[in-house]
Amino acid sequence: MNPSLVPALDPTPIPGPAWLFHVLLVFTFFLHALFMNLALGGTLIAAFAHLGGGSPARLALARRLMGVNGYGISFAITTGIAPLLFVQVLYQQYFYPATILIGEMWLLLVAFLMLGYYAVYLYKFRGAPARGTGGGGWLAVAAVLFLAIAMVHVAVHLIHVQPATWARIAARPWSILADPTYFPRLLHFVLAALGFSALVMTWWAVRQAGAGRDVELNTAIASHTWKWAIVTTLLQVVDGFVLLMVLPRDVLIGLMRGGAATLFPLGLSVLLGLGLLMMLARVGNPVAKPGLVTGTLGGMILTIAVMAITRHQVRELYLAPASAGSVIPVAPQWGNFFLFVLLLLAGLATAAYMIRLVMTSPAAGREAA
């Protein structure tokens, strides 16, 4: 490799210890992953639900998914801002070159996101949710655009952790697709998105059915999304092992020799994946087992959290040769950090207050806003 391609470290100190930014990066990425999963997986499932005209249950599922995504995509964007911020604090000298090397695609990501989001709104206002039928094309457009965004993200990630490839990428940007981990990694994210969205929708439908609302419809939706969850989780377990095996040798060895710090999250996520599969396979009719459905969804969220840690550790292992010996200067701004924490708590309290306000202030007719 040619280490001189990595830009010199900015002498400006970072305003807090590195571990704090690592924690914030992983935590906010986890939050982002939840909403991103809903945006990507939900749109894909909804688009598939429209194939062949779609049964009433499938159209109801698509409507429900896109109802969630009107909010979900916004929050996928908003929660994505924080990890984008923290990744720049910690990895600026790797991250910017990676984005510049595939600059056109990185910029197109913004256009894809905007067009995809507006396509979702077009579906809501001009498709089945508003007119009872149609609009599957808008969903397909949105799904393809969101998939393209995932592809760009995976590319930037793989480029930024491998400075040794930069000279090659500069000459042939598309060669990143030939990275042996590219497609297993992309599939890992897409399957997680599908599985998570399917489980959220199952959980919702099961709760609705349990409360006696549209029992037949909700039973059909739950059964459909449960199948999505089973198939994608099964594929995920296989793909997870493939991804592990195609990792560069040093990275894999680093994971295996990292002691409890790396083996615990990795082992836990493998066990959780297998456990999820067993729980999914045990249930034929999810509406009859609401507790198990909630447990499975909880298990899925925990798996995503643990995988976010492993993903971060893999990044560090990839970058170990390039970053050896470099020390980021630190000059903590603790006052500003605590102000951030204080305002974050106040912000979360305000968010909770608003949701409670909406739930507890129903009104109709002249009393309503």
Site for another protein in 155-194 (CB under 8 A): 166-167, 170
The CB-of-13 to another protein minimum distance in angstroms stands at 7
Reference 106, options 41, 32, 40, 176; nearest CA is: 176
Q: Is the dihedral angle over the CA atoms 20, 23, 27, 33 positive or is it negative? A: positive
Binding flag, residue 107, another protein (CB under 8 A) = yes
Measured CA to CA, the distance from residue 236 to residue 264 in angstroms comes to 19
User: Between 211 and 344, whose beta carbon lies closer to another protein?
Assistant: 344
Tokens 């609705």 appear where? 208
Binding flag, residue 1, another protein (CB under 8 A) = no
Binding flag, residue 109, another protein (CB under 8 A) = yes
Q: Which of 27, 121, 182, 264 binds another protein (CB under 8 A)?
A: 121
User: Between 51 and 81, whose beta carbon lies closer to another protein?
Assistant: 81
The CB-of-40 to another protein minimum distance in angstroms stands at 16
Torsion of CA 198, 200, 202, 203, to 10 degrees: 160
Which of the residues 332 through 351 are near another protein (CB under 8 A)?
A: 333, 336-337, 339-340, 343-344, 346-347, 350-351
Stretch that binds another protein, among 1-9, 269-277, 303-311, 317-325 (CB under 8 A): 1-9
Measured CA to CA, the distance from residue 203 to residue 230 in angstroms comes to 14
Binding flag, residue 27, another protein (CB under 8 A) = no
User: Between 267 and 347, whose beta carbon lies closer to another protein?
Assistant: 347
Measured CA to CA, the distance from residue 113 to residue 296 in angstroms comes to 30
Q: Which of 41, 42, 80, 135 binds another protein (CB under 8 A)?
A: 80
Q: Which of 260, 324, 327, 358 binds another protein (CB under 8 A)?
A: 358
248 alpha-carbon distance from chain centroid: 24
Measured CA to CA, the distance from residue 359 to residue 362 in angstroms comes to 7
Measured CA to CA, the distance from residue 225 to residue 220 in angstroms comes to 9
Q: Which of 101, 186, 199, 319 binds another protein (CB under 8 A)?
A: 101
Binding flag, residue 74, another protein (CB under 8 A) = yes
Residues in the interface with another protein (CB under 8 A) total: 71
Stretch that binds another protein, among 11-19, 186-194, 225-233, 314-322 (CB under 8 A): 11-19
Long-range pairs of 217-221 with CB within 8 A, sequence gap ≥ 24: 217/56, 217/57, 217/60, 218/287, 219/285, 219/287, 220/55, 220/57, 221/57, 221/60, 221/61, 221/64
